[in-house]
Structure 1
């Protein structure tokens, strides 16, 4: 069975669930193709390689074909997708896992996400003074690069530990908040390429949804507290 970048499955390369529909797989593939376009600032920052693009194309070639996908699924076997709950634990074990996850994942992740989610509006206000000004565009590009670094940091924090079962709802909301942020930065990165305001509006809406999910996660955590 073939595996992709750094041992990832084709689903992980495209960033979709094994239950993803054909339409969702196509959407993820198109998003990655746009992200890795040579003119994309995020792609340049990420240092995308020809090998990475080849792996993305290879993953899509298999997963878009129903028969090839069924055969691949048979070879792949059952795998877990983030967020990863821990196996059932005793009450005392659950309490220990919960304390560790809150300390090492939930708390530091919120410290990164809070300022990041609040940072877009001032940047858009500054850019609105003259969206075609080279200096403002350069500053906006630098801002997006810093956001990408913060997002990578947040994603790394999220992967530190599997979430305890009692905090599955919290972890799930944070996971999708991170996904929305990734999509938002992709959308915003297209504006300096074509000056289409729709990219700014879409990016802003995705930031808003990510913040909503983060607040839902905080509420779910508060309700789950012993």
Structure 2
């Protein structure tokens, strides 16, 4: 049992506790030690006496004035120690979360973004040369077959991109970056669809629209590469 001469000890609070904290602790302890809950009447009497002394602000001030300075200093030191301990714990937890978040981001960039960027490059970079070759004679079967092979390979690479993008959730710290990655490969996918339509009917608007989509996707990919460097700083 706490020292009954010290009402703060009886109520299990320090001398710097607020009136609300005193009241909450008193109620908790009364409920915990009530005879009906298996507690002792002696403890309840001690709690009531302590509450009488501290529950009224005037009575509490009188008691605090009568206490020896050393006791007050000791309680304040305990309170400071408790606050510092809580602050240190919060700081450690925040540091741990930040470290974990950094690891998640590094893993996502390495395992998801890097291979996606490489695959997108394998679709975007050859496009100009593939189109120039086809433009020599779009109605030449061999040239059209070569262009269709490029489109089939591109479609296969884009399917791999989708699988990679869904393999690991995008870290919270890179949500905007991840959304831009999604828009980039969606543009490339739409462009390939337009080119496929062109090969089936030679409608120039499909070729024009697909070419514009590839141009925009190339620019977005460059911005993503620049942003990736900033994320890694």
- Normalised by the size of structure 2, how large is the TM-score? 0.56
Match of 1:214 among 190, 202, 221: 221
Query: Is the Cα contact below 8 Å between 1:170 and 1:218 reproduced in 2?
Result: no
Structure 2 residue aligned with 1:142: 149
Structure 2 residue aligned with 1:69: none
Q: Tell me how far apart the structure 1 counterparts of residues 232 and 206 of structure 2 sit (CA, whole Å).
A: 39
Structure 1 residue aligned with 2:172: 165
1:63-102 Cα distance to aligned partner (Å, 9 max, x none) = xxxxxxxxxxxxxxxxxxxxxxxxxx91011011112101
Structure 2 residue aligned with 1:93: 100
1:152-172 Cα distance to aligned partner (Å, 9 max, x none) = 111111111111122222211
Structure 2 residue aligned with 1:67: none
Match of 1:103 among 80, 101, 110: 110
Structure 1 residue aligned with 2:140: 133
Match of 1:181 among 184, 188, 201: 188
Partner of 1:167, secondary structure, is: helix
Higher relative contact order, chain-length normalized (CA < 8 Å, sep 6+): 1
Q: Tell me how far apart the structure 2 counterparts of residues 222 and 96 of structure 1 sit (CA, whole Å).
A: 16
Q: Tell me how far apart the structure 1 counterparts of residues 205 and 109 of structure 2 sit (CA, whole Å).
A: 37
Please say if 1:223 is aligned against 2:233: no
1:20-45 Cα distance to aligned partner (Å, 9 max, x none) = xxxxxxxxxxxxxxxxxxxxxxxxxx
Larger radius of gyration: 2
Q: Which has the higher helix share?
A: 2
1:1-226 paired onto structure 2 within 5 Å: 90-226=97-233
Query: Is the Cα contact below 8 Å between 1:188 and 1:203 reproduced in 2?
Result: yes
Query: Is the Cα contact below 8 Å between 1:173 and 1:216 reproduced in 2?
Result: no
Aligned-pair RMSD on alpha carbons? 1.4
Q: Tell me how far apart the structure 2 counterparts of residues 159 and 105 of structure 1 sit (CA, whole Å).
A: 9
Query: Is the Cα contact below 8 Å between 1:105 and 1:161 reproduced in 2?
Result: yes
Q: Tell me how far apart the structure 2 counterparts of residues 158 and 111 of structure 1 sit (CA, whole Å).
A: 13
Query: Is the Cα contact below 8 Å between 1:169 and 1:220 reproduced in 2?
Result: no
- Normalised by the size of structure 1, how large is the TM-score? 0.58
Structure 2 residue aligned with 1:61: none
Give unmatched runs, 5+ long, in structure 1.
1-88
The answer to which of 210-219 and 182-191 deviates more is 210-219
